[in-house]
């Protein structure tokens, strides 16, 4: 993997050098749980539920922060702020960006997982 492409995966690669099994577990958990969190954010925002939208985005932000996925962290912060301001059209736009970013990272995580196996 070239360095530019793998930049979001730096933290996981560091973990993988120390403990490959832990890295693989974190990848699996992220790939499994993130779609559920994205769905929670989307559903809450469709219903214009301010706190539910903010809380789901906050949960995902924490996961992404721990793994070093800064682009996703930034988008989650944006969603949290827009939800608290009841700007749900803007939440929808940010959600599209978040979903696209997740797809990109998922592709990289899958490749990293295959390399480690």
pLDDT tens figures, 13-29? 777 777 888 889 999 99
Sign of CA dihedral 92, 110, 108, 29: positive
41 and 53 Cβ atoms separated by less than 8 Å? yes
pTM flag (> 0.85):
yes
> ∠ CA 97-27-16 to the nearest 5 degrees?
125
CATH architecture, domain 8-116: Up-down Bundle (1.20)
115 and 27 Cβ atoms separated by less than 8 Å? no
pLDDT tens digits, 32-91: 999 999 999 999 999 999 999 999 999 999 999 999 999 999 999 999 999 999 999 999
Domain boundaries of the chain, sorted by first residue: 8-116
């Amino acid at each position: 993997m070239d360095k530019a492409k793998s930049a979001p995966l730096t933290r996981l690669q560091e973990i993988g050098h120390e403990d490959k099994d832990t890295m693989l577990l974190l990848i699996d958990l992220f790939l499994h749980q993130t779609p559920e969190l994205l769905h929670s954010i989307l559903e809450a925002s469709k219903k214009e539920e301010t706190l539910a939208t903010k809380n789901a985005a906050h949960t995902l932000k924490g996961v992404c922060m721990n793994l070093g996925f800064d682009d996703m962290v930034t988008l989650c912060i944006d969603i949290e702020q827009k939800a608290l301001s009841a700007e749900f059209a803007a939440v929808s736009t940010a959600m599209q960006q978040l979903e696209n970013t997740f797809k990109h990272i998922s592709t990289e995580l899958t490749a990293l997982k295959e390399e480690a196996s």
